[in-house]
A = this chain, B = another copy of it.
Amino acid sequence: MISHDEVRDWDATDPLAPFRDRFALPEGLIYLDGNSLGALPRQTAARLKRVVEQEWGESLIRSWNDADWVDAPRRVGAKIARMIGAHEDEVVVADSTSVCLFKLLMAAAVTREGAILAEDDNFPTDAHVAGRAAELLDREYRPVPRARIAEALTEDVAAAVLTHVDYRTARRHDMAALNAKGVPIVWDLSHSVGAVPLDLKRDGAILAVGCGYKFLNGGPGAPAFLYVARDWQPRLDSPIAGWWGHKAPFDFSCSFEPAADIGRFLSGTPAMLGLLALESGVDLMLEADAALRWEKAVRLHDLFAARMAELCPTLERVTPDEAQERGSHIAFRHPNALAIVRALIERNVIGDFRTPDIARFGLTPLTLRFEDVWNATQIISEVIASEAWREARFQSGGPVT
């Protein structure tokens, strides 16, 4: 039994506590959906105002050079590289997660014969991209249950798409063990980056993509990033050759010569507003010690789990017990999960629902207090015990991945 006073003490001594004020969080709201749309860093509002009014409004086209817009995809990529254990020249920011996945999967698959492998119950975009890529390349599309991926990474697989942290259960793959199988894997880090410890070089990853609008707090529809290990860069061609991937875009040559570096995976003109908002979110994240962030994420999960076990002992938690086997959210199974999540939103506790029966709550150590978890679990248990969710009217949630 953990007391309210006890968790308040934890907050009082939490070295990350000062970060909460760096975000513009509405009063009275317990926001447990930062794994779907990260909160607004205060500095991002100021940065975007400057980008819009000065860089765009005043300097206009000159900002491509004068405000260094032109280098932003690589510059922000280099910052993300520091968060995922990559070299700074191995990451670039571009497009959406779906488009980045398509680029790397297509590029990798053409380097060898064989099937395209994916998880059979993954976040849908990964399956959709992989299935269509297989069609385009006239390869077998091979969906496999997550639990049987290790044995399925065989010689006759050309490339695989795997999601490091599952979007429902938060179950985390053993990246090093799976990379060791020798099949080129495109890792989807959408629920990992900014959430769990990552060391792509140590773990032998050669390809990865990730989402900018979840734990990185890049804003709605922020651009994604892609990672290609140095020695793989010259061997891979983006299927979408565009002028930003050219080695000299401003020569305006119609003959395509890809950039020698990670920039070869760029296509069109970068989405500058989203990219600079993402940079601001990444800058803030880099101020916080990664080990402290993960340590607090684990404690937030375990507090949440302990409280729910105490208050709602019959509720089934689907997230793994062991910290090293999971990401940074907690999820429960309930036949009325959708109605429960809606009832919680009415009570200012924002989580989300995932079909068919998952109530999911993101645990973001820079914005959440232990007391928030204490209060949220109180409200969740009351909603479930009173069946208050039967009256839930409020429709919300939306495209939250």
Contacts and interface: CB of A to CB of B under 8 A. Distances in A.
Interface stretch (A121-129, A226-234, A317-325): A121-129
Given A53-B40, A220-B56, A99 B98 contact: no
B52 A36 contact: no
Contacts of A58: 24, 26
A16 interface: no
B242 A128 contact: yes
A395 to B, nearest CB: 7
A264 B272 CA distance: 25
Contacts of A219: 52, 56, 272-273
Contacts of A26: 57-58, 60
Nearest to A238: B132
A78 to B, nearest CB: 19
Interface stretch (A63-71, A192-200, A296-304, A375-383): A63-71
A62 to B, nearest CB: 5
Contacts of A179: none
Contact of A52 (B48, B267, B354, B401): B48
B102 A213 contact: no
Contacts of A44: 52
A129 B242 contact: yes
Interface string A207-248: 000000100000111111000000000000111111111100
Given A241-B128, A400-B61, A96 B269 contact: yes
Contacts of A254: 120-122, 124, 127-128, 143
A9 to B, nearest CB: 29
Interface string A26-67: 100101010011011000110011001101111011111110
A66 B396 contact: yes
A251 B221 contact: no
B129 A99 contact: no
Contacts of A244: 98, 125, 399
A64 B33 CA distance: 13
A398 B71 CA distance: 11
A40 B55 CA distance: 10
Contacts of A355: 250-252
A114 interface: no
Nearest to A46: B52
A284 interface: no
Q: Give the size range of A's interface with the partner.
A: 35 or more
A65 B398 CA distance: 6
A204 interface: no
Which residue of A61, A63, A66, A355 has the most chain B CB atoms within 10 A of its CB atom? A61
Interface string A99-112: 10010001000000
A314 interface: no
Interface in A336-391: 345, 350, 352, 354-355
Given A102-B267, A267-B102, A61 B33 contact: yes
A252 B352 CA distance: 13
A24 B58 CA distance: 8
Contacts of A328: none
Contacts of A213: 269
23 contacts: A37-B56, A37-B60, A52-B219, A60-B350, A62-B397, A64-B220, A64-B398, A69-B399, A95-B99, A96-B269, A98-B268, A99-B99, A121-B254, A125-B242, A125-B244, A128-B246, A129-B240, A129-B242, A132-B239, A221-B271, A221-B273, A244-B399, A273-B277
Given A37-B61, A62-B397, A98-B268, 11 more contacts: A44-B52, A65-B396, A66-B396, A95-B96, A96-B271, A98-B244, A102-B267, A125-B244, A128-B245, A128-B256, A129-B240
